[in-house]
Structure formats: C-alpha cells, structure tokens
Amino acid sequence: MPELMSFNPFDAVANLVATGGSILWGILVVSLTLWTLILERYWFFRRIYPRQVRAWEDAWNQRVERSSWFAHRIREAMISQANCQLKQTLPVIRTLITICPLMGLLGTVTGMISVFDVMALKGTSDARAMASGVFQATVPTMAGMVVALSGLYFNTRLGHVVRDETERLADVLRFHAQAQTRAG
C-alpha cells in the first residue's frame, strides 16, 4: 500500500519519455501544439464567435433592403467570412494529426536501429538490450497513435461544429430576409 501513495505521475511521464527516446520529445511538442489549437477552437466557438454572429445579425437587420441580388451577395459574404473564421486552424490541426503517426514511425525506426546496433556488437545473446531497443521502438509508435487518434476525434467533432454553425448563421440571416420580404 505505501507504494501506491509514493506514485508520482510526473516521474512516470518523465521515465516514459526517457525510455522512448528523443523522438518522444518531438511527439510531445506536436501534441502540446495540437491540443493548444483544439482548445483555442473551442474557446473561439464558445466566447468569440457568438459575439461575431450577433454583429453579423445586427448588420443584416439594419439593412433596409434584404431581397435584392446585392443583398444576397452581402449575406453570402457574411456566411463565407464566418465559415473561414470557423475553419481557421483546422488545416493545421489536421496536419499535426498526420504528423503524429509519422513521428511514431520514426521512433520505431530509431528504436530498431538501436536493436540492430546491439545485435552487431553483442550478437543475439543479450536479450535484455534487444528488449530495451524494442521497447524504445514501440513507445513512440504508441504515443504517436494515441495523440493522432484522440486528435482525429476532436478534429471530426470540430468539423461538425463548423458545419452546424455555418448552417445556423445561414438560417438566421435567411429567416430575417424572408420575414422582411413577407412584411414588405
């Protein structure tokens, strides 16, 4: 029981990074960047975007004429601008998600090179050193895949939010345009 109380998660992570090799540090940097961008998008959706929608809606409602060809182009421009703002960092997020498994593969290659180095120096008699190299090869692969899969889930979720919010803005602006046309 005292062993469980002395468990330090920071030491465990530091030990894992040390055994995973230098590639794991790169995966850690990519992971921190990825999660910073994902959290930034959620912050944008919750805090900044609703204010922007209200501004577009107010601008649309202040228009006297909302049914001409020119008014429809302004509406499309507002929706397009919203879509661009919503998708702003999604390509970078997708790129970082793609990089993670490739970095894990690079870690696999470097770990296997260390296994081959052990085999070249000591032959196949030192199983402990070979197992250490195999472990060093699998840790970055696992880390890259975990980061990529979790990032892929949130990237898909963010894509759905972008689509829904774009449609919602289009509905809000269209609704007001139809109400004005009927009243006029």
How many of the other CB atoms lie within 10 Å of CB of 32?
Answer: 11
SS3 113: helix
| Neighbouring residues of 62: CB distance < 8 A, sequence distance ≥ 6 | none
Q: In the predicted model, what is the mean pLDDT of residues 143-167?
A: 96
The span from the CA of 180 to the CA of 184, in Å, is: 6
pLDDT at position 12: 78
Q: In the predicted model, what is the mean pLDDT of residues 5-31?
A: 82
pLDDT tier, 4 (very low <50, low <70, confident <90, very high otherwise): low
Residue position matching structure tokens 């008699």: 125
The span from the CA of 140 to the CA of 21, in Å, is: 8
pLDDT at position 65: 83
The span from the CA of 22 to the CA of 106, in Å, is: 10
pLDDT at position 21: 76
pLDDT at position 174: 67
pLDDT tier, 33 (very low <50, low <70, confident <90, very high otherwise): very high
Statement: the pTM of the whole predicted model exceeds 0.75: yes
Between the ranges 41-55, 98-112, 123-137, 167-181, where is the mean pLDDT highest? 41-55
Query: In this structure, what token pair is assigned to residue 88?
Result: 């702003």
pLDDT tens figures, 94-150: 999 999 999 999 988 888 887 788 778 777 777 777 777 788 888 899 999 999 999
- Inform me whether the pLDDT recorded for 154 exceeds 60: yes
| Neighbouring residues of 154: CB distance < 8 A, sequence distance ≥ 6 | 38
